[in-house]
């Protein structure tokens, strides 16, 4: 089983071999998987499309955002995908248009809409890489402008016209942007902002959260056939760079898609509605990419659709925690810290922690006894915490954790 509920292919697909070559290190497996999926997307750009609406072509481009604490391996996961692309022949590299660095939205539009001295248009696609999101987009008004442009450019099936004093009028026909980014949750709120996370922008992003691995790897562990497998990945990526056409769906896959679409439950959380409304497009993009990982036959089969639905659901299941984090206040952050502290010192009533120890730890974070009392009252009312039975000679009051482990 691959990360995020994705099945291994039989025989192995491009993604299976990609994960095999990634080996084991402190980089979370889900980071590698999603960068492997995006690697397929950046190879085909807009040369492979799916026609959901008649006369309209949907590219399988993705905005993949790796989210985790500093040092989790976000940049390393992106570099693993880059290292495959960097081995491509020069002509194939031009078909990817890899750009790792900083770009203003106006400079991005100018790049996509540029023309050479003979009037020939530049490629209308790009693989935009920002391992440190905050560094690339800044904050406040600058970041807001960037996010709004990226939101508008995601769809791609349009003519985008931008007029500025510096660049004049620039027109981009059917822009296709693949965006790989990395961020901590804290910097995400600084650079993207709460409102954009809660609105349309984040509905277009495959947010991939991960924590630091528990198992330690002093040195990365790679398979003995790494050289052979990596050469195969480069060869397959080259083949992806040179295919064009429209992906179709088998009759069985069409029937499965209709059944899923009609029966999928509406999210109970209203904040997930924006992602839910766009999830069908994401499923079709992911199904196209999984089909291309399997072979170059350009046909979505049931197994590809099933995998795409699992991936989409995995992303949506991770969103509530991110949305909750965006809504946090100092009070809710303190409540979250207290819950984590108690959970770590208690275990379903079998152990308890003294009020004195909790107060000392809370005081180190700026909470006095009155504030701790209010926080503890909330946890008790939520039935996450209970007072431990008092024993003779045991000292002051103690708390037990009753919530989820």
| CA dist list (Å): 173 to 19, 59, 160, 165, 176 | 35, 13, 6, 21, 9
Distance CA 324, CA 328 (A): 6
Rounded to the nearest integer, the mean pLDDT of the chain is 86
Please check the confidence at residue 384 and state whether its pLDDT lies above 60. Answer: yes
Please check the confidence at residue 203 and state whether its pLDDT lies above 80. Answer: yes
User: Tell me, what's the pLDDT at 238?
Assistant: 97
The strand pairing partners of 163, in sequence order, are 169
Cβ atoms of 256 and 302 within 8 Å: the answer is yes
Please check the confidence at residue 391 and state whether its pLDDT lies above 80. Answer: no
The domain 3-246: what is its CATH number? 3.40.50
Cβ atoms of 211 and 69 within 8 Å: the answer is yes
Residue 288's nearest CA partner among 260, 254, 246 is 246
Identify the residue with better confidence: 190 or 49. 49
**CB contact set of 136 (below 8 Å; sequence gap of 6+):** 101, 102, 103, 130, 181
Q: Residues, the chain, total?
A: 405
Please check the confidence at residue 6 and state whether its pLDDT lies above 60. Answer: yes
Would you identify the CATH topology of the domain 330-401? Arc Repressor Mutant, subunit A (1.10.10)
| Mean pLDDT, range 116-136, rounded to an integer | 82
| Mean pLDDT, range 378-389, rounded to an integer | 83
Q: Where in the chain is the domain with CATH 3.40.50?
A: 3-246
For the ranges 6-10, 37-41, 365-369, the one whose mean pLDDT is highest? 37-41
**Per-residue confidence at 195, pLDDT binned at 50, 70, 90?**
low
Identify the residue with better confidence: 40 or 327. 40
| Mean pLDDT, range 240-261, rounded to an integer | 96
| Mean pLDDT, range 91-112, rounded to an integer | 88
**CB contact set of 214 (below 8 Å; sequence gap of 6+):** none
What is the reported pTM? 0.82
Distance CA 136, CA 181 (A): 9
């Amino acid at each position: 089983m691959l990360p995020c509920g994705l099945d291994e292919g039989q025989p192995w697909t491009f993604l299976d071999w990609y994960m095999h070559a990634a080996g084991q290190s402190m980089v979370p497996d889900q980071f590698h998987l999603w960068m492997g999926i995006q690697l397929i997307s950046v190879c085909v750009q807009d040369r492979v499309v799916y026609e959901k609406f008649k006369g309209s072509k949907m590219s399988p481009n993705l905005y993949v955002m790796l989210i985790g604490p500093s040092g989790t391996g976000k940049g390393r996961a992106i570099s693993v995908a880059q290292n495959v692309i960097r081995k491509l022949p020069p002509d194939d590299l031009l078909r990817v248009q890899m750009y790792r660095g900083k770009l203003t939205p106006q400079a991005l539009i100018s790049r996509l809409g540029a023309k050479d001295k003979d009037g020939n248009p530049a490629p209308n696609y790009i693989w935009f890489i920002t391992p440190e999101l905050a560094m690339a987009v800044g904050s406040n008004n600058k970041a807001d402008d960037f996010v709004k442009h990226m939101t508008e450019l995601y769809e791609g099936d349009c003519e985008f016209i931008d007029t500025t004093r510096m660049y004049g009028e620039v027109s981009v026909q059917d822009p296709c942007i693949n965006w790989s980014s990395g961020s901590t949750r804290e910097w995400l709120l600084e650079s993207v902002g709460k409102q954009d996370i809660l609105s349309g922008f984040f509905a277009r992003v495959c947010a991939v959260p991960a924590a630091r691995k528990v198992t330690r790897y002093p040195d990365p562990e790679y398979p003995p056939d790494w050289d052979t497998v990596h050469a195969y990945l480069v060869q397959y990526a080259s083949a992806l760079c040179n295919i064009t056409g429209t992906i179709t769906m088998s009759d069985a896959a069409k029937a499965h898609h209709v059944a899923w679409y009609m029966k999928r439950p509406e999210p109970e959380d209203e904040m997930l509605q924006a992602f839910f409304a766009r999830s069908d497009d994401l499923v079709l993009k992911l199904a196209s990419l999984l089909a291309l990982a399997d072979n170059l036959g350009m046909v979505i089969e049931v197994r590809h659709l099933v995998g795409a639905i699992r991936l989409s659901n995995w992303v949506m299941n991770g969103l509530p925690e991110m949305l909750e984090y965006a809504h946090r206040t100092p009070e809710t952050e303190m409540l979250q810290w207290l819950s984590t502290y108690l959970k770590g010192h208690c275990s379903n009533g079998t152990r308890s922690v003294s009020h004195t120890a909790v107060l000392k730890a809370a005081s180190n974070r700026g909470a006095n006894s009155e504030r701790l009392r209010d926080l503890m009252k909330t946890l008790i009312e939520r039935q996450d915490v209970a007072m431990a039975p008092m024993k003779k000679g045991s000292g002051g009051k103690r708390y037990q954790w009753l919530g989820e482990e």
